[in-house]
């Protein structure tokens, strides 16, 4: 019998020197196992092969879960840094007009939202509240508006943070598909910070609200300082 190797000598030497090259390659191992099963014949059941297939499926599932967890962790870190940047920006202004401008420009850009509205309830929502009227995010509404807006379409009591998809015209405009609504406790008054996105999946009820609640608490304190 001839002992001449059937494969390329360099490949053979590489495998002999480092068998892990083959053992760690799932596709090669799958082909080798299948070839071994064919040699055993149809009347032999390879229980070890079946067990290995099941273990491989479980390993693939665990790897997918691991990747999902890692991706979620990166998203959480990125979201935390984003909110922190927005909060630091909100702490800088010394005048209310500057606060509104930064809220509408820098903060909206940092949060990557397409619309931002700051609503404050007042007995008179026609500019007689003493607040300077500006072209910006500030909107004055009659008392009771905020809680009614937070409950809209749900039938549930108003919550401090509401995430939802929207398909109709709102305070943002007709092109906004999802929004985050942060209820603001301003002492004797009630306010609302509404963030809108053109992406339907940007704000969804199943998303976490801790970071947005922190953002809302920062806006509350800033407004109390300016409006108190």
In the chain, where does DSSP find H-type helix? Answer: 9-17, 20-23, 26-40, 47-90, 96-102, 108-111, 145-151, 210-227
When the pLDDT of each residue in the chain is averaged and rounded to a whole number, the result is 80
When pLDDT is averaged across residues 103-114 and rounded to a whole number, the result is 92
Indicate if the pLDDT at residue 109 is higher than 90: yes
pLDDT at 208: 84
Asked which of 17-26, 83-92, 115-124, 132-141 is least confident by mean pLDDT, the reply is 132-141
pLDDT at 17: 81
Q: Domains of the chain, with CATH numbers?
A: 95-227 (3.30.450.40)
Q: Which residue has better confidence, 74 or 67?
A: 67
Q: Which residue has better confidence, 206 or 153?
A: 206
Strand partners, 191: 120, 184
pLDDT at 134: 42
- DSSP assignment of 56-70, as one string? HHHHHHHHHHHHHHH
Indicate if the pLDDT at residue 131 is higher than 90: no
Please answer whether residues 192 and 172 qualify as being in contact, where contact means their C-beta atoms are separated by less than 8 angstroms: no
pLDDT at 154: 65
Tens of pLDDT along 147-191? Answer: 888 887 665 566 789 999 886 557 887 788 999 999 999 888 899
Helix axes 26-40, 47-90, angle to 10 degrees: 160
CA 132 from centroid of its chain's CA atoms:
36
- What distance in Å separates the CA atoms of residue 174 and residue 212, rounded to the nearest whole number? 23
Q: Is 212 exposed, middle or buried (0-12, 13-18, 19+ CB in 10 A)?
A: buried
pLDDT at 215: 94
Please answer whether residues 187 and 226 qualify as being in contact, where contact means their C-beta atoms are separated by less than 8 angstroms: no
- What distance in Å separates the CA atoms of residue 191 and residue 158, rounded to the nearest whole number? 13
Tens of pLDDT along 23-56? Answer: 777 777 777 767 666 666 666 556 666 677 777 7
């Amino acid at each position: 019998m001839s002992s001449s190797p059937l494969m390329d000598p360099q490949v053979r030497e590489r495998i002999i020197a480092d068998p892990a090259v083959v053992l760690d390659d799932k596709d090669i191992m799958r082909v080798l196992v299948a070839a071994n099963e064919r040699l055993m014949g149809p009347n032999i059941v390879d229980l070890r092969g079946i067990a290995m297939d099941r273990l491989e499926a479980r390993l693939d599932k665990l790897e997918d879960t691991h990747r999902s967890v890692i991706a979620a962790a990166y998203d959480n870190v990125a979201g935390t840094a984003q909110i922190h940047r927005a909060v630091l920006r909100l702490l800088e202004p010394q005048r209310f007009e500057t606060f509104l401008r930064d809220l509408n420009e820098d903060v909206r850009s940092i949060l990557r939202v397409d619309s931002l509205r700051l609503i404050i309830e007042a007995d008179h929502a026609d500019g007689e509240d003493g607040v300077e009227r500006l072209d910006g995010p500030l909107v004055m509404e009659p008392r009771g508006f905020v809680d009614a807006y937070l409950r809209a379409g749900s039938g549930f009591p108003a919550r401090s943070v509401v995430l939802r998809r929207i398909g109709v015209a709102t305070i943002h405009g007709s092109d906004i598909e999802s929004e985050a609504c942060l209820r603001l406790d301003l002492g004797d008054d009630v306010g609302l910070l509404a963030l809108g996105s053109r992406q339907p999946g940007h704000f969804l009820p199943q998303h976490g609200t801790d970071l947005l609640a922190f953002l809302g608490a920062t806006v509350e304190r800033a407004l109390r300082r300016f409006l108190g």
